[in-house]
Amino acid sequence: MTDEIKTHRAIAIDGPAASGKSTIAKKLAQHLGLIMVNSGAMYRAVTHQILEEKIDPTNHPAVIQALTDMELVGGIDPETSTSTISINGQLLTHQLRTQQVNQHVSPVATIPEVRQCLVDMQRAYLQHHDLVMEGRDIGTVVFPETPYKIYINASEEIRAARRSKDGESDAVAKRDQQDSSRKSSPLKIADGATVIDSSNLTVEQTLEATLQALQQQGWESPPFSTESPISNLNS
């Protein structure tokens, strides 16, 4: 019997907080019929659990011990084809976007042991699926070999405005500063990534620019035909 080797493809979408990358990653995955994996949700889930357990996020040995003790499970919601995350049997959703989590997630994400554990989870998705994954280090660390890399940016003012429009209290500039300056897998533009500034673009325009960039990077799939439902984006 021969082993069947199947290679799946990853599209990496990176960028700073509230740059629009989650929205684009979701639309892109829907458009191309891929699953969408939100890596930030994993860092948020660990942070939520640490706070629940009243552990000081800056106490690295305690965070690492808690991570070892928690049962962290990544899945896929079959209805939406997007990633899910549960800890100790509890599916986490709205708990991931609280002000407390926003405030503490970046320090937790600086811990190399936390990153290694979550990067392993992120890579595991590719064993079974073609996917779009969004985060900070997807093109640089998680899937550096993928030719399909997009970096979505937007001005600081626009990003802060988008976040407050979503009703979230989130110091995006501070989080970006922490994410870009950390030693372990800092946020930066991956080699070969196409940078798209979404400051003055609509979601549709950003998606269109992303699709064009992917095509230039060699992505081939039927959605690039003229029949692609790009106009059907606001759902």
Nearest distance from residue 190's CB to ligand CDP, in Å? Answer: 12
**Of 36-44, 81-89, 194-202, 214-222, which segment contacts ligand CDP by CB under 6 A?**
36-44
Residue 125 touches ligand CDP, criterion: CB under 6 A: no
What is the DSSP secondary-structure string of 85-98? EEETTEEPSGGGGS
**Of 72-80, 105-113, 202-210, 222-230, which segment contacts ligand CDP by CB under 6 A?**
105-113
**Of 17-25, 71-79, 80-88, 210-218, which segment contacts ligand CDP by CB under 6 A?**
17-25
Give me the 206-235 binding string for ligand CDP, x by CB under 6 A, dash otherwise. ------------------------------
CA–CA distance, 50 with 67 (Å, rounded to integer): 8
Q: Which of 4, 218, 14, 2 is nearest to 133 (CA)?
A: 14
- The answer to whether 34 and 11 are in contact (CB under 8 A) is yes
Q: Would you call 218 exposed, middle or buried from its count of C-beta atoms within 10 A (0-12, 13-18, 19+)? A: exposed
Residue 106 touches ligand CDP, criterion: CB under 6 A: yes
- The answer to whether 113 and 64 are in contact (CB under 8 A) is yes
- The answer to whether 50 and 228 are in contact (CB under 8 A) is no
Is 65 or 181 the residue whose CB approaches ligand CDP more closely? 181
Give me the 69-98 binding string for ligand CDP, x by CB under 6 A, dash otherwise. ------------------------------
- Dihedral of alpha carbons 227, 217, 78, 98, sign: negative
- The answer to whether 211 and 223 are in contact (CB under 8 A) is yes
Which of 137, 140, 151, 210 touches ligand CDP (CB under 6 A)? 137
The residues of the shown chain that bind ligand CDP, judged by CB under 6 A, are 17-18, 22, 39-40, 43-44, 105-106, 109, 135-138, 175, 179
